[in-house]
Amino acid sequence: MSELANPHRTRTVTWQDPLLTAKRGMTMSGLEFLQAMVRGELPPPPIMALLGFTILDLADVEPGRVVFTAEPAEYHYNPIGMVHGGLACTLCDSAMGCAIHSTLPAGVGYTTLEVKVNFLRPLTQATGVIRCEGKVIQVGRTVGAAEARITDARGKLYAHATTTCLILAPTNTASE
Amino acid sequence: MSELANPHRTRTVTWQDPLLTAKRGMTMSGLEFLQAMVRGELPPPPIMALLGFTILDLADVEPGRVVFTAEPAEYHYNPIGMVHGGLACTLCDSAMGCAIHSTLPAGVGYTTLEVKVNFLRPLTQATGVIRCEGKVIQVGRTVGAAEARITDARGKLYAHATTTCLILAPTNTASE
Amino acid sequence: MSELANPHRTRTVTWQDPLLTAKRGMTMSGLEFLQAMVRGELPPPPIMALLGFTILDLADVEPGRVVFTAEPAEYHYNPIGMVHGGLACTLCDSAMGCAIHSTLPAGVGYTTLEVKVNFLRPLTQATGVIRCEGKVIQVGRTVGAAEARITDARGKLYAHATTTCLILAPTNTASE
Amino acid sequence: MSELANPHRTRTVTWQDPLLTAKRGMTMSGLEFLQAMVRGELPPPPIMALLGFTILDLADVEPGRVVFTAEPAEYHYNPIGMVHGGLACTLCDSAMGCAIHSTLPAGVGYTTLEVKVNFLRPLTQATGVIRCEGKVIQVGRTVGAAEARITDARGKLYAHATTTCLILAPTNTASE
């Protein structure tokens, strides 16, 4: 395939040090952390800049529920002519993890043990803006479970996901 | 956080029209398609450029087995101080889908119905180069299943995944 | 361990030929099939007798939603002192499969490709009667997805599950 | 359907108190516990009697690997004419949980957080004896992952599964 027939496109991504943000996050509850990010008081994590998704406004962050917004584009495509499933996975993983995070007090962290995503319809450039709503199924002292759904502007469903997270209880190590 | 305290970093991504590639792919077997990509005869899909993964050489593409290579970096980070799970999901989804694709003749496509990923260890900038090996569990006329593992240079395991794909038998519509 | 210290218990299970039922099922819509089972016009399948679960009444069968009821008992126990996860899996698989079946017309079948179950709380003899509600997420021409939840009499959640089913379009083979 | 046309079959299941067994298990390593069960020194758990599966001999229990054997029968059937998916789920859940248990020292328990099963071929009465091999993927201090495969006498694959377990570190409560 000649370069003329298939010209190059470029996109430049900008982000800030995620470890500074993560460190500040340890002093806040999950809800405060997410709200600070929506208000622009904390920079978004690099992955959000990379894949082009965001939390639009404060109404999208509640205890146990977080909604991300994205717009599928050519730069998300896989080799078989549609958006790569990795976009839906990343959105669902983010929305579910943040939904669980939004219920945790300051000093309590979490880590995702597994995520399962069902792809119900292909995402393409023609899909338009999508929303990914993550909701807690249950959060206990040790384990949390959540689910997520990706829908378009008309409410059509594109993906459904579930996750298991480990809740990381506060450690006794002195904080810096 | 002041801009001085947390300066911006940038990365520019380049890709080519994925639909031209996908169209050419329909005339090749899955194995030929993947081999043409490794040889540089077809451009990599945008998602590979975006997340920075690749198939290193022809030995990484066999019928029923495909290996991707990546290097976790700051631009993959989530808000809690490590690489976002979406990188492992995308690598595993790619390696499993391509492993299934590598067994299909020309004109037979596939679509991924679901993927489940277990995160066994966090990926960070310190992890170094990782490999994601996808292997077919079984491919039938209608359905295929595959698994994937992500390991570092010393063989340490970071993620394990499984998938279900729908095999799309050749249609009777006239080709262009 | 002496036989005196740990005496034997027994339970006798009764069922009828499931293939006769399955054959009659092919002439009915999924909803009619499930309703006939609730009314006692068709015998329950052997697995329901074996594990002791049932659909209590007609209100538990609607298009896209089916509820099973069971009572965890000693005969369901695993070797580590609680009900085996297989009970929750079987209930969820049944409720989700039947929820999908309840949306299908006569002559259209389905087969389950995969099921994933999150165990949120242990089931024991002390749990009492549980309900497992299966609900369709989406049913298309080729693929269906559903989810299920197991709750006790007070609404406490014990398990959450999702599934992917293949929809089997009517074949052209002559019926017997 | 008349009773004559579809006569009743019965099967009587026998088991012993599983809590006595579980209590004795806490004093043994997982491997010793499973070996004692194979040798008949501990009674099998009720679920094994109920669904008719067993560990055939000591070679089927190794650190990180446990194999169960079963024979699909009419009493396992679902309403659509084949063995219910619950049998494969229960076998895989057992084999994976026991594979993880087989790596744990005395006093350390585990609980299954989630299981995902891919059904690759239907099981029927004609399948004959099947084996379900569970193997550890990884066991850490807090979390374990395992996989399982169900095959028939000729090695044909019927199901594939993965699981996530929580490892329950020894508590400080005084033992009885």
Reported as a single tens digit per residue, the pLDDT across B30-87 is 999 999 999 999 999 999 999 999 999 999 999 999 999 999 999 999 999 999 999 9
Note whether A162 contacts C164, CB cutoff 8 Å.
Answer: no
Question: Picking from A1-10, B110-119, D42-51, which range would have the lowest pLDDT averaged per residue?
Answer: A1-10
Q: What is the pLDDT of residues D27-64, one digit of tens each?
A: 999 999 999 999 999 999 999 999 999 999 999 999 99
Note the pLDDT of residue D7: 87
Q: In 3D, which of A114, A111, A171 has the Cα closest to residue B78? A: A111
Q: Centre a 10 Å sphere on the Cβ of residue C29 and count the other Cβ atoms it contains.
A: 18
Note whether C117 contacts D114, CB cutoff 8 Å.
Answer: yes
State the smallest CA–CA distance between residue D169 and chain A in angstroms: 13
Q: In 3D, which of D91, C148, A78 has the Cα closest to residue B49? A: A78
Q: Is A4 helix (H, G, I), strand (E, B) or coil?
A: coil
Instruction: Give the whole-angstrom CA distance, residue A159 versus residue A86.
Output: 12
Note whether B145 contacts D116, CB cutoff 8 Å.
Answer: no
Note whether A46 contacts B15, CB cutoff 8 Å.
Answer: no
What pTM did the predictor assign?
0.95
Q: What is the length of chain A?
A: 176
Q: What is the pLDDT of residues A43-67, one digit of tens each?
A: 999 999 999 999 999 999 999 999 9
B44, B45, B47, B52 alpha-carbon torsion, rounded to 10°: 0
The answer to whether residue A9 sits within a structural domain is: no
> Measured between beta carbons, which residues in chain A are less than 8 angstroms from residue B117?
89, 114-116
Note the pLDDT of residue C3: 55
Which candidate from D120, D147, D164 shows the least CB-CB separation from B145? D120
> Measured between beta carbons, which residues in chain D are less than 8 angstroms from residue A143?
113, 166
- Report the pLDDT averaged over residues C31-55: 97
The answer to whether residue B28 sits within a structural domain is: yes
Q: What is the length of chain C?
A: 176
Q: Centre a 10 Å sphere on the Cβ of residue B130 and count the other Cβ atoms it contains.
A: 23
What share of chain A in percent tops pLDDT 70? 94
> Measured between beta carbons, which residues in chain A are less than 8 angstroms from residue B119?
111-115
Structure tokens that stand for D107 in this block? 């006093």
> Measured between beta carbons, which residues in chain C are less than 8 angstroms from residue D122?
111
Residues of A with CB under 8 A from a CB of D: 113-114, 116, 142-143, 164, 166
Q: Residue by residue, what is the 3-state secondary structure of C91-150?
A: HHHHHHHHHHHCCCCCCCEEEEEEEEEEECCCCCHHHCCEEEEEEEEEECCCEEEEEEEE
The answer to whether residue A4 sits within a structural domain is: no
The residue whose two tokens read 């794909």 is B165
Note the pLDDT of residue C175: 37
Which candidate from C47, C76, C80 shows the least CB-CB separation from D46? C76
Note whether A116 contacts B112, CB cutoff 8 Å.
Answer: no
Mutation test of the interface with chain D: which of A117, A138, A142, A171, choosing the one with the most D Cβ atoms within 10 A? A142
What share of chain B in percent tops pLDDT 90? 89
Q: Domain of C39: which CATH number?
A: 3.10.129.10
Q: In 3D, which of C175, C161, C8 has the Cα closest to residue C92? A: C161
- Res. D176: pLDDT tops 50: no
Note the pLDDT of residue B47: 97
Burial C132-164 (b: 16+ CB within 10 A, else e): bbbbbbbbeeebbbbbbbbebeeeeebbbbbbb
State the smallest CA–CA distance between residue B85 and chain C in angstroms: 19
Q: Centre a 10 Å sphere on the Cβ of residue A141 and count the other Cβ atoms it contains.
A: 8
Q: Which one has a higher pLDDT value, B12 or D174?
A: B12
CA angle D147, D148, D150 (to 5 degrees): 160
Confidence tier at A175 by pLDDT (50, 70, 90): very low
Instruction: Give the whole-angstrom CA distance, residue A70 versus residue A74.
Output: 13
Q: What is the pLDDT of residues C20-31, one digit of tens each?
A: 999 999 899 999
Mutation test of the interface with chain D: which of A110, A113, A117, choosing the one with the most D Cβ atoms within 10 A? A113
CA distances from B71 to A79, A87, B8, B97, B161 (A): 21, 19, 21, 20, 19
The residue whose two tokens read 């209880």 is A169
Q: In 3D, which of D48, D42, D47 has the Cα closest to residue D26? A: D42
Which candidate from D78, D79, D93 shows the least CB-CB separation from C86? D93
CB pairs < 8 Å spanning A and B: 217
State the smallest CA–CA distance between residue C144 and chain B in angstroms: 10
Please give the residue of chain A at the shortest CA–CA distance from D113. Answer: A164
State the smallest CA–CA distance between residue C60 and chain B in angstroms: 29
Please give the residue of chain A at the shortest CA–CA distance from D111. Answer: A143
**What does residue A56 show for φ and ψ, rounded to 5 degrees?**
-65, -50
Confidence tier at B170 by pLDDT (50, 70, 90): confident
Q: In 3D, which of C47, C165, C50 has the Cα closest to residue C100? A: C165
The answer to whether residue D11 sits within a structural domain is: no
Which chains neighbour B (Cβ–Cβ under 8 Å, 3 or more pairs)? A, C, D
The answer to whether residue B122 sits within a structural domain is: yes
Please give the residue of chain B at the shortest CA–CA distance from A79. Answer: B45
Q: In 3D, which of D27, D30, D97, D109 has the Cα closest to residue D68? A: D97
Query: Does residue B51 contact residue B87 with C-beta atoms inside 8 Å?
Result: yes
Which chains neighbour C (Cβ–Cβ under 8 Å, 3 or more pairs)? A, B, D
The answer to whether residue C3 sits within a structural domain is: no
Per the structure, the complete domain to which residue D131 belongs is given by: 18-175
Mutation test of the interface with chain B: which of A84, A116, A132, choosing the one with the most B Cβ atoms within 10 A? A84
- Count of domains for chain B: 1
The answer to whether residue A92 sits within a structural domain is: yes
Structure tokens that stand for B168 in this block? 């799309």
Please give the residue of chain B at the shortest CA–CA distance from C116. Answer: B116
- Report the pLDDT averaged over residues B84-93: 98
Note whether D116 contacts B120, CB cutoff 8 Å.
Answer: no
Query: Does residue D45 contact residue C77 with C-beta atoms inside 8 Å?
Result: yes
CB pairs < 8 Å spanning A and D: 15
The answer to whether residue A29 sits within a structural domain is: yes
Q: Which one has a higher pLDDT value, C43 or B176?
A: C43
Which candidate from B120, B140, B143 shows the least CB-CB separation from D138? B120
- Report the pLDDT averaged over residues C110-137: 98
Note whether B142 contacts C114, CB cutoff 8 Å.
Answer: no
